[in-house]
Amino acid sequence: MKGFVVAVITIFISVSALGNNKDTTNQTPGFYKDTFNLAQHFSKGHVKGHVRNFFMNTINEGSLRDYWTNAIGMSLHYESLPFYGFMFEMKGIFTFQTISSDLNYIDPLSGKSSKWEIELYDILDRNNKTDLDRLEELFIHYQWKNSFVRYGRIPIDKTPLVNARDGRMKPFAFEGAYSEIGISKKWKIKSMIIHGVSPRSTVEWFQFHEAIGLNNNGFTPMGEKAEYHEHLDSRFLFGQEIKFQDKNFSASFWEFYFDKLFNLNWGQMEVKSKHFKLGIIGVNQFGLKEQKELEIVNQYYTPGTRAHVASELIEFKNGDWKYKAARSDVFGNGKFLFPRELGRERLYTSITRSWMDGFGKSSMTNFGINYKPKKKKELELDLVTSFVKTPGQTNYAFNKYGTRDYIQTNFEIDYNFEGRLKGLELDLLYIYVKDVHAKTITYEEAANKTNFHQINLIMNINF
């Protein structure tokens, strides 16, 4: 990466020097006054960022241990002036723990410590609460008309699987190339190839074969503990989308090729009117032949199996209120899988703390209400309840993480201040997860996974 930084600086010194003697009578982007120099070019760039404070408290039901913590952090993003379409961008971020319960305390009933609160810091070093800085972005951006291409440590948040998911103190970050090409006003092509990642709630950067499996590896189809971390020689992820966007209709198709792991197709269509919105997503996923060469315990995707996902949405809007219902089903002889080190899927039933990853022969059904008053645009309320049906906790062929049936409710209040406090945002997220068969659950099965309340209070100051 040091070589990349040197190359970036060298390019900008060379390109900037070309602009020193331009006639600027009719100034256009990419041309500056005769007095322009490198120092001015960088000093006149744009700086933005945010200060973030995050309080989280997980309250387990019964005698199980509760955990809480408060983290504060800051990010700074720098964007240079454009020059002949080229720009240079970088972003750094850091986090500190201000006050907290003991997140490493082992609950004697369950044998577990904090799960959610530790994700505000570094899940790979649970004792690190202060040295939590990361160079999150460092890339060259080239823009022409309504298209662009980027290379380096880049932000990605516009795909159904690979995304920043900024729901903790540090989001997912990626290394590679990304482009958006505007073919016309209605047609667009997106492409990406990623070869490095810094997962959410970590500070280090990893190549793909190092990153996959840093989190929970789950179980094999026979119920053994899976151990595929550092056994998968995957080097990159390629993704491409073609999308049509009209006023009331959109259709897109994504192709994801995950080196030596799987191939995944994602199609999505939406139709909307003044009051209604209808959407449908279809997914097809199958493992690649290289998985057959591995021991079963080291396989990520079971060879010879396929998973299909259907996700539907119906939404009705009436004034300040929005009502929605969604359903997702996984079928076929395989499980829907995507490495948790790279993001979370965006199905219509995907909500904070609840995802389809790891499921086969399962379903999620959501009902939600959203309130966003036109007369008070700063405020937004959102309530959603999700009913999750799994194939059974011990049916590991279709339940990678041994998840039980559950019902989850999320209630969120978001307030963006205006006037003198413009830039201040407060977000309160309350989550309740209830096991459907609570009478048969053990302490170990329940701890930090189900039968808990969680309070998340987040403050952002954006500038």
59 CB contacts (<8 Å, ≥6 apart)?
66, 452, 453, 454, 455
pLDDT at 136 over 60: yes
Average pLDDT of 185-202? 96
pLDDT of amino acid 36: 60
Q: Which residue has the higher pLDDT, 37 or 283?
A: 283
Judge whether residue 8 has pLDDT over 70. no
**Predicted confidence (pLDDT) at residue 4 exceeds the cutoff of 70:** no
Task: Report the 3 state secondary structure along 421-459.
Answer: HCCEEEEEEEEEEEECCHHHCCHHHHCCCCCEEEEEEEE
What distance in Å separates the CA atoms of residue 455 and residue 383, rounded to the nearest whole number?
14
Residue 13: is its pLDDT beyond 90? no
Round to whole Å and give the CA distance between 149 and 429.
36
Q: pLDDT category, 31, cuts 50, 70, 90?
A: very low
Helix (H), strand (E) at residue 41: helix 38-43
Note the pLDDT of residue 15.
38
- Flag whether pLDDT at 7 surpasses 50: no
The fraction of the chain above a pLDDT of 90, given in percent, is: 86
Q: Which domains does the chain have, with CATH numbers?
A: 1-44 (no CATH), 45-462 (2.40.160.10)
**CA 342: distance to chain centroid?**
7
Q: Which of 19-33, 196-210, 227-241 has the lowest mean pLDDT?
A: 19-33
Residue 3, pLDDT > 80, answer no
pLDDT tens digits, residue range 426-458?
999 999 999 998 788 999 999 999 999 999 999
Query: pLDDT band at residue 165, thresholds of 50, 70 and 90?
Result: confident
**Tally of helices (H runs) and strands (E runs) in the chain:** 4, 19
| Assigned token pair, 84 | 């002949």
279-280-281 Cα angle (round to 5): 130
| For residue 255, pLDDT beyond 80 | yes
pLDDT classification of 278: cutoffs 50, 70, 90:
very high
Give me the residue label for tokens 């993704």.
Answer: 239
pLDDT at 428: 98
pLDDT at 293 (0 to 100)? 95
pLDDT value for 440: 84
Helix H or strand E segment including 327: strand 321-332
The mean pLDDT of 149-164, rounded to a whole number, is: 95
More confident residue, 187 or 38: 187
Kindly state the DSSP code that residue 357 receives in the 8-state scheme.
T
Segment 94-103 shows an average pLDDT of 97
pTM: 0.89
What are the residues whose beta carbons fall under 8 Å from the beta carbon of 18, sequence distance 6 or more?
Answer: none
The residue whose two tokens read 């500190």 is: 96
Structure tokens at 73: 């952090």
pLDDT of residue 2: 43
pLDDT digit string, tens, across residues 372-404 = 999 888 999 999 999 999 999 999 999 999 999
Torsion of CA 11, 16, 17, 21, to 10 degrees: 160
Angle (nearest 5°) at CA 127 between 122 and 133: 45
In this predicted structure, what is the pLDDT of residue 44? 85
User: Helix H segments across 173-325?
Assistant: 208-211
**Residue-wise pLDDT tens digits, 305-338:** 999 999 999 999 999 999 999 999 999 999 999 9
Query: What pLDDT was estimated at residue 18?
Result: 37
CA nearest neighbour of 268 among 240, 331, 310, 308: 310
Separation CA 410–CA 408 (nearest Å): 7
117 dihedral zone (left: phi>0; alpha: psi -120 to 50; beta): alpha
Contact status, residue 138 vs residue 150, Cβ threshold 8 Å = no
